[in-house]
Structure 1
Amino acid sequence: MLKPAFLTGRWVWIPAALVVAIGGWFTWQAIWGAEKPPEYQTAEVTRGDLEVTISSAGKILPRETVAVGAQVSGQLNELFVEAGDFVERGDLVARIDATIAETNVEASEAQLRELEATRKQQQASLGLARANFERAKMLFENDAVARADFEAAQAEYTVAQGRIEAINAQISRQSSTLRAQRATLEFTNIYAPISGTVVSLEAVEGQTLNAAQTAPTILTLADLSIMTVETDVSEADVLRIEPGQDAWFTTLGDAARRWPTTVRQVLPTPEVLNDVVLYKALLDVENPESRLKPQMTAQVFFLTGAARGAVLVPVTALQTSPGRGQRPGGAQGRQTAEAGQGRPARTGGGLMQAEASEPATPRGGGRDGGNRDAMRAAREANPDAEPGMVLVMTADGTPRPQPVLVGLRTRTHAEIIQGLEPGQIVVTGEVSLQRPAGPPQGQQRGGPPPGMRRG
């Protein structure tokens, strides 16, 4: 009776041990067994526009601004405009008290009339002196008068001519004085020198203006139909900016609207602020709707390169190539070997690194030969482009190195001149997989746990 009980207990534990052993084997395989395939971050190759720009900040100012001042002293009697009013060139905008100026004009006119009356008297004396001289000359030629009487008549006639010339000079001088005083009287009326908007008023009615030393400013006119953006450009970027270059800017109040413009001038004299050398660039823009106001802040973008309808990829898709002279072996050797097998090599940050050289292709024609010829032709047509490498996802889900020719590049996207087509999927990064610690020391990778045989 004891033997069957023993046999019964023995056969019960054997299946249980096999179940435990098989479960441990599958658990080990799940944790330390076959290596999980890597997961990739990808992006689709698209077609779009690309712009390479230099950015700077500036201020919006009127291109033409005039400070309207007073040329005569006196009290400001009338001011006909207010801030914000639009005036045409020649419009009367202000008037200064003209009492003193009018008095001076009246006095000069009276003096001029007096001189003209004196000239009439002198003209009469000149006529009499001429007649006496001609009579004395005739008598002297006929020996009917003494030489002394003839010479006296001649001298009297010459003096009369000199008096007329002197009075004419006095009249000319007085006429000039009168014109100046009339101009001073006209200066009491202030007219707009340009067509524009009154942007500020510096004087008020009743204020006394003193123009003895400097011309006091009454108001400021600005032509707001054309605005100028003054922006500071660093010395590192100024050599890439030149007159006529395309640019655009936005304002803080309407960042979604682009204002296209061109560079009018780059001022040669820099401004040094805290040892930073800055150059002024001037850009003009039409402002028909008066949306742009003086002193607005503008974010300016100078266009240094543009591509329309280009093939675009994220810049993270461009793979770096290993340095020359690296030999296979170690970590670098494993990365090169993996890339040669069509698998991307992993870097410490989880991003891929692929060979920069073109994949080996058989000599002769065929599709690979055509790709090489197309790449060579693209390089000759675009000498400024740079060769690069991307990883293209194949139909079976594995990345394949693909040589490309890279054109313009921004912080986010790059132009692919040759090598890719829209719709392809490129690798932009690898998702890092957190794996548990390796098997205990002495346990080989890929083998079963101790005490378990491979089935």
Structure 2
Amino acid sequence: MTNEAQPQTITLPGAPKSAPGSRLLQGRGRGPWIALGILLALAGVGVYLRTSHNAPATRYVSVAATRGDITRTAAATGTVNPELTIIVGSYVSGVLEQLYCDYNTRVKAGQVCAKIDPRPYQTLVDQAKANLAVAKAQLVKDQANLVYTNQNWERNRLLLKEDSVAKDAADQSKNNRDQAEAQVGFDQATIQQRQAELDSAQVNLDYTDITAPVSGTVVSRNVTQGQTLAASLQTPTLFLIATDLTRMQVDTNVSESDIGGIKEGDKATFSVDAFPNRVFSGVVTQVRQSPQTVQNVVTFDAVVSVDNTDLALKPGMTASTRIIVDQRANVLRAPNQALRYTPSAFAGAATPVKQGGGRLWVLRDGQPVAVDVVVGLDDENFTEIVQGDLHDGDKIIVGEERGASAH
């Protein structure tokens, strides 16, 4: 085998194991890492300083405290109706022979609006008249018989005193006279009966003329000429007459949660789809005690009367109504949003609000300051400030934003 020369290391007695050249090489290897660590530390300090100087400040959004009106309302839907609507029906049955009224016809009380064929009822009137005439003739006949029987009794009574007539003959004449008197009374009662029958037949005949019971305007017609009316089971409705269309009312369906605050005399406003840009005004004239339940929802009818001189409102229109339950004029007020706001910096450190009160955050010297207040009436947008360190023009904080600078 070939013997190659192998490198040899000569260690002198008392010398360290590592030569001075190897230690120099190791020191040079750690130097770059130390320099890199110093550079990273300097870079971190620079980033911290840069980000700390450029952190966005909190920008508070505020509105000024103002004075104004606060109105609490109860919302409800309803239907526009005339104040008084009269149903005109038929008392008797028959064929509708003539129609004299139609939609929108102005009528006066007693005016004939329709006529039922009167011939069947005229026949009954004629028959009743004939029966009455027979009864009267029978009375005349029986009255004449009474005169005769009375005279005969008087003669027999005188003869009986002289014993010139038999007692049985006198008693018979007296009996005939009494029967004649009874017959006359019966005839008089029969005449009254026949007269009542005639009056009843005449009433039915008069009912063939269907007249308007009140003056007003026909708002509905439910029959046509030639139609047969059957009044025996249920009175048919022929017309609806509104007495005065210049006075209307809105029958509103108010929920049971709002009805407690509504009373007669409350003002109300409403709108209808036909006039979306017009607001109508009215007054609550009645709060009816009769509840209406639809799908387990209980509502009450609050009647709102409204002037309709221009006849803009039509019966049956749907009205979106707001009834004014309470109102304050020229009071110090704050937005409802402000009473629910707490700055994020104080979210966990704010003290509890007293019962029945509220807390506002106001900008003073550019910093948010908590102001405890006593609140009063509120509506959809504002709350009345009854008591507290708040004045007109104070900047009330309603929100905050993150921006480049604070305001």
In the superposition, the TM-score normalised over structure 1's length comes to: 0.71
Of residues 363, 366, 378, the one that matches 1:409 is 378
**Cα distance per residue 1:170-220 (max 9 Å; x no partner):** 111110000001111100111112232211111112222232332222222
Contact 1:266–1:279 (Cα < 8 Å) also in 2: no
Contact 2:282–2:306 (Cα < 8 Å) also in 1: no
Q: Counterpart of 1:89 in 2: which secondary structure?
A: coil
Of residues 187, 192, 206, the one that matches 1:186 is 206
Give the aligned partner of residue 179 of structure 2: 159
Aligned identity (percent) is 28
Q: Counterpart of 2:146 in 1: which secondary structure?
A: helix
CA positional deviation for 1:244: 5.1
**Cα distance per residue 1:391-425 (max 9 Å; x no partner):** 2223x433332222211122321111123232222
Please say which of residues 164-173 and 178-187 is displaced more in the overlay: 164-173
**2:345 aligned partner, one-letter code:** R
Give the aligned partner of residue 421 of structure 1: 391
Contact 1:74–1:97 (Cα < 8 Å) also in 2: yes
Unpaired runs of at least 5, structure 2: 1-43
Structure 1 segment 314-329 matched on structure 2, within 5 A? 314-318=335-339
Give the aligned partner of residue 397 of structure 1: 366
**1:424 aligned partner, one-letter code:** D
**1:308 aligned partner, one-letter code:** A
Measure, in 2, the Cα distance between the counterparts of 1:272 and 1:427.
Answer: 44
CA positional deviation for 1:307: 0.9
**Cα distance per residue 1:89-147 (max 9 Å; x no partner):** 22211111111212221222122112212211111111111111112112212323221
Contact 1:243–1:266 (Cα < 8 Å) also in 2: no
Contact 2:267–2:281 (Cα < 8 Å) also in 1: no
Give the aligned partner of residue 166 of structure 2: 146
Please say which of residues 179-188 and 136-145 is displaced more in the overlay: 136-145
CA positional deviation for 1:80: 1.2
CA positional deviation for 1:83: 0.3
Give the aligned partner of residue 112 of structure 1: 132
1:288 lines up with 2:258 in the alignment: no
**1:158 aligned partner, one-letter code:** D
Give the aligned partner of residue 313 of structure 1: 334
Measure, in 2, the Cα distance between the counterparts of 1:353 and 1:316.
Answer: 20
In structure 2, relative to structure 1, the CA distance for the partners of 1:353 and 1:140 (3 Å cut) is farther
Measure, in 2, the Cα distance between the counterparts of 1:318 and 1:353.
Answer: 17
CA positional deviation for 1:37: 4.1
Aligned residues: 358
Q: Counterpart of 1:157 in 2: which secondary structure?
A: helix
CA positional deviation for 1:302: 3.1
Structure 1 segment 52-451 matched on structure 2, within 5 A? 52-223=72-243, 224-242=245-263, 245-255=266-276, 256-262=278-284, 264-273=286-295, 276-289=296-309, 290-318=311-339, 344-346=343-345, 355=351, 386-394=356-364, 396-419=365-388, 420-433=390-403
Aligned-pair Cα RMSD in Å:
2.9
Work out which of the two has the higher radius of gyration on C-alpha atoms and give 1 or 2. Answer: 2
Q: Counterpart of 1:121 in 2: which secondary structure?
A: helix
Which structure has greater strand proportion? Answer: 2
Unpaired runs of at least 5, structure 1: 1-23, 322-343, 359-384, 436-455
Of residues 41, 51, 69, the one that matches 2:71 is 51
**Cα distance per residue 1:16-68 (max 9 Å; x no partner):** xxxxxxxx999975532275542111111111111112212222223432321
In structure 2, relative to structure 1, the CA distance for the partners of 1:102 and 1:61 (3 Å cut) is same
Measure, in 1, the Cα distance between the counterparts of 2:324 and 2:308.
Answer: 24
Measure, in 2, the Cα distance between the counterparts of 1:85 and 1:355.
Answer: 72
Q: Counterpart of 1:270 in 2: which secondary structure?
A: strand
Q: Counterpart of 1:150 in 2: which secondary structure?
A: helix
Contact 2:94–2:116 (Cα < 8 Å) also in 1: yes
User: Which is bigger in relative contact order (C-alpha 8 A, separation at least 6)?
Assistant: 2
